[in-house]
C-alpha cells in the first residue's frame, strides 16, 4: 500500500491545466481567472445620489447652517437614467431620485423624509454637510484598479463586479467535461426490473452529481459490462468526447476486475494501479488514454465518492487553475469516540461537522462506516481523518475534511 499523499502527488503531477479562453461572464461562475483583470470603466461612472431627496448647492448649505432653516424653489425633478447635465440657479434646488446624476453645482442631497416639500417649494430644517448622500464618480472602482489577480475563483459577486465595469467575457480556464461510466455485470438501471443477483447502479448517478457540483460539465456514458472488448470500446470512445473519464468498479483483485487491465493497455502500459493506505477507497487506477486523464474509482458506493473527494477533485481543481488544489482539514472537537485497530491505513470517518452551542466547530462521527453504506454517507458533510492506531476519544480535537466545497 502507498500513502495517500503519494497517490495525490502522482495524479497531480500528471494533470495539466485546461486551456485558458475568453468565457462569457454568465458561464464563468466557479471558474478561475487565467490572468489579472483591471477596470477600464469606473464605478460610479458619474456623481450620483444615494437617496431620494432634494439636491442643494453649498451656498444653500451655508445659509441653512446660519439660520437653521431655509426655503428653496424646486426647479426640476431628475430621475435615475436622466441623460441631462444639469446646473441649477442660485436659490433653487432639484428633486432627485436614488442613482440619478447630481447637478454639477450641487454638493449634498437631503433625504426626502427630512424635507417639507410642496410641488414648487422645499423647506429644509435639518443638519446637512457638503458631500452628504453623494456617491462620487470612481469612489468604488477607479479606472485602472486591479480588480482580481490571476487564479481567482469567480463567485457571483465577482461576476457582478465584472458586469458593472463592462466585461462581456472574462479570461478563465475552460470548464472541464467529465464522462462517467459504471462497470459491472451486476448493475441494473434505475427504472429497470431488479432480478436476483443484480443491484442498482447508484455510482454513476452520485458521481455525475458530485462532478457537476464540483463545477464540471458532465456526460453520462452509461453502464458497461465486465467484458474486455466492451470496456475497451467504451473507454476509447469516451476519450474522444470528454476531458476526464471516471469509472467505478473493477479496480480490485477479482477475476472480472478488467478496468485496470484495459486502462493499462490503452495507456500504453503507463497506467498506475494503486492500493492506497486509506479506508475507504483503497483500490484506485489512474492513467491517460490519448492524453485524457482516466480515474478508475472503486466500486463500493462510499469508496467511489471518497475517492472522488481525495483524488479526482484535487485534479479537477488543478485543471481549472487552482494553485492549491489539495483539500485542507479544519480542527473540531469530537462529540463521540471512534474505535479502530491498527491496519496500516488512515481512516476517513463519515461525520457531521457543525457549530456547537458555544460557537465552536464540533464533529459527530456517524454510526455505520461500511463502504457499501451509502445512506449513512448521505448524512455526512465531512470526513474525520484518523491516522493508523486506536482511534479517538470523545472531546478530542480531530482533523476534519469538509465535503462538498468546490
Ligand X SMILES: Nc1nc2c(c(=O)[nH]1)N[C@H]1C(S)=C(S)[C@@H](COP(=O)(O)OP(=O)(O)OC[C@H]3O[C@@H](n4cnc5c(N)ncnc54)[C@H](O)[C@@H]3O)O[C@H]1N2
The site for ligand MOO (CB under 6 A) is made up of 279-282, 298, 300, 303, 371
Q: Which is nearer to ligand MOO, 44 or 298 (CB)?
A: 298
Binding positions for ligand X, 247-266, rule CB under 6 A? 248-254, 257
Could you tell which of ligand X, ligand MOO, none binds residue 201, using a CB distance below 5 to 8 A set by kind? ligand X
- Which is closer to ligand X, CB of 34 or CB of 307? 307
The three-state secondary structure class of 18 is coil
CB 42 within 8 A of CB 164: no
Estimate the crossing angle of helix 259-266 against helix 228-241, to 10 degrees: 50
Q: Is 179 in the site for ligand X (CB under 6 A)?
A: no
Count the Cβ atoms, other than its own, within 10 Å of residue 68: 11
- Output 7 or 187, the one with its CB closest to ligand X: 187
> Rounded to an integer, what distance in angstroms lies between the CA atom of residue 4 and that of residue 332?
22
Q: Minimum distance between the CB of residue 343 and ligand MOO, rounded to whole angstroms?
A: 11
18 touches which of ligand X, ligand MOO, none (CB within 5 to 8 A by kind)?
A: none
Among the listed residues 63, 158, 204, 288, the single contact to ligand X using CB under 6 A: 204
Between 109 and 380, CB nearer to ligand X: 380
Q: How many helices (H) and strands (E) does the chain have?
A: 9, 28
Which residues on neighbouring strands pair with residue 108, listed in sequence order? 56
Nearest-approach distance from CB 345 to ligand MOO, in angstroms: 8
The CA distance from 135 to 303, in Å, is 55
Identify the H or E element spanning 237: helix 228-241
d(CA 201, CA 92): 76
| Least gap, CB of 168 to ligand X (angstroms) | 42
Site string (284-323) toward ligand X, x via CB under 6 A: --------------xxxx-x--------------------
Subset of 77-116 contacting ligand X (CB under 6 A): none
Neighbours of 177 (CB within 10 A): 15
**CB under 8 A, 24+ apart: contacts of 325-331:** 325/12, 326/8, 326/12, 327/401, 327/405, 328/401, 329/385, 329/399, 329/400, 329/401, 330/361, 330/399, 330/400, 330/402, 331/361, 331/397, 331/398, 331/399, 331/400
Min. distance of Cβ 186 from ligand X in angstroms? 5
The correct pick among 34, 48, 133, 203 for binding ligand X (CB under 6 A) is: 203
Q: Which does 309 bind (CB under 5 to 8 A by kind): ligand X, ligand MOO, none?
A: none
In angstroms, what is the minimal distance from the CB of 256 to ligand X? 8
**Given the rule CB under 6 A, which of 156-164, 236-244, 246-254, 386-394 is the region that contacts ligand X?**
246-254
Which chain residues interact with ligand X by CB under 6 A? Answer: 182, 184, 186-187, 199, 201-204, 248-254, 257, 282-283, 298-301, 303, 371
Amino acid at each position: 500500500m502507498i500513502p495517500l499523499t503519494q497517490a495525490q502527488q502522482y495524479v497531480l503531477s500528471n494533470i495539466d491545466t485546461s486551456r485558458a479562453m475568453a468565457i462569457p461572464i454568465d458561464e464563468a461562475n466557479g471558474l478561475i481567472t487565467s490572468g489579472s483583470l483591471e477596470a477600464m470603466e469606473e464605478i460610479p461612472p458619474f456623481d450620483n445620489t444615494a437617496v431620494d431627496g432634494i439636491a442643494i448647492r453649498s451656498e444653500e448649505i451655508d445659509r441653512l447652517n446660519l439660520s437653521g432653516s431655509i426655503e428653496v424653489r424646486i426647479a426640476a425633478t431628475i430621475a435615475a437614467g436622466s441623460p441631462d447635465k444639469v446646473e441649477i440657479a442660485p436659490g433653487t434646488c432639484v428633486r432627485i431620485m436614488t442613482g440619478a446624476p447630481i447637478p454639477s453645482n450641487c454638493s449634498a442631497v437631503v433625504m426626502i423624509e427630512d424635507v417639507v416639500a410642496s410641488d414648487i417649494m422645499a423647506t429644509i430644517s435639518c443638519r446637512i454637510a457638503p458631500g452628504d448622500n453623494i456617491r462620487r464618480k470612481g469612489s468604488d472602482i477607479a479606472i485602472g484598479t486591479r480588480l482580481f489577480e490571476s487564479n481567482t475563483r469567480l463567485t457571483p459577486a465577482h461576476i457582478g463586479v465584472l458586469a458593472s465595469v463592462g466585461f462581456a467575457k472574462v479570461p478563465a480556464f475552460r470548464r472541464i467535461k467529465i464522462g462517467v461510466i459504471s462497470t459491472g455485470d451486476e448493475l441494473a438501471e434505475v427504472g429497470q426490473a431488479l432480478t436476483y443477483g443484480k443491484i442498482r447502479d447508484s455510482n454513476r448517478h452520485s458521481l455525475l452529481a458530485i462532478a457537476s457540483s464540483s463545477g464540471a460539465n458532465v456526460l453520462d456514458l452509461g453502464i458497461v459490462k465486465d467484458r474486455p472488448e466492451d470496456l475497451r470500446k467504451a473507454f476509447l470512445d469516451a476519450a474522444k468526447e470528454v476531458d476526464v473519464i471516471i469509472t467505478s468498479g473493477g479496480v480490485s483483485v477479482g477475476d472480472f476486475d478488467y478496468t485496470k487491465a484495459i486502462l493499462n493497455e490503452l495507456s500504453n502500459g503507463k497506467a498506475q494501479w494503486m492500493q492506497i493506505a486509506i479506508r475507504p477507497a483503497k483500490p484506485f487506477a489512474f492513467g491517460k488514454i490519448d492524453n485524457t486523464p482516466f480515474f478508475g474509482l472503486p466500486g463500493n458506493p462510499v469508496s467511489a465518492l471518497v475517492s472522488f473527494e481525495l483524488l479526482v477533485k484535487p485534479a479537477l481543481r488543478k485543471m481549472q487553475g487552482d494553485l492549491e488544489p489539495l483539500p485542507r482539514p479544519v480542527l473540531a472537537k469530537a462529540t463521540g469516540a471512534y474505535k479502530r485497530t491498527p491496519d496500516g491505513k488512515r481512516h476517513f470517518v463519515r461525520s457531521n461537522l457543525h457549530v456547537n452551542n458555544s460557537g465552536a466547530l464540533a464533529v459527530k462521527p456517524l454510526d455505520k462506516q461500511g463502504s457499501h453504506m451509502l445512506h449513512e454517507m448521505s448524512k455526512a458533510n465531512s470526513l474525520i481523518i484518523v491516522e493508523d492506531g486506536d482511534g479517538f476519544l470523545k472531546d478530542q480535537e480531530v482533523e476534519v475534511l469538509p465535503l462538498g466545497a468546490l
